[in-house]
Amino acid sequence: MTLQTANYMYNQYDFVNNIKELNFVSNKLFCTFTPIDQLDSLISTLIGKYSILYKKIFVLKVADGEEYVCTYNIEQGNISDVIDNTILVHRKKETNTLYSLNALNELIKSLNGGQIDNKFPINWYEYKNSILLTQQGDIKILKTKIFKIIEI
Domain boundaries, the chain: 19-151
pLDDT, position 119: 93
Which band of pLDDT confidence, cut at 50, 70 and 90, is reported for residue 16? Answer: low
Phi/psi for 71 (5° steps) reads -115, 140
CA dihedral sign of residues 52, 49, 60, 9: positive
pLDDT, position 3: 42
Distance spanning both ends of the chain, measured CA to CA: 20
**How does the average pLDDT of the chain come out, rounded?**
85
Which band of pLDDT confidence, cut at 50, 70 and 90, is reported for residue 82? Answer: confident
Short-list 21, 17, 18, 13, CA closest to 139: 13
Say if residue 137's pLDDT is above 50.
yes
Mean pLDDT of 70-90: 85
Which band of pLDDT confidence, cut at 50, 70 and 90, is reported for residue 22? Answer: very low
pLDDT in tens, 28-74: 899 999 999 999 999 999 999 888 999 999 999 999 888 999 999 99
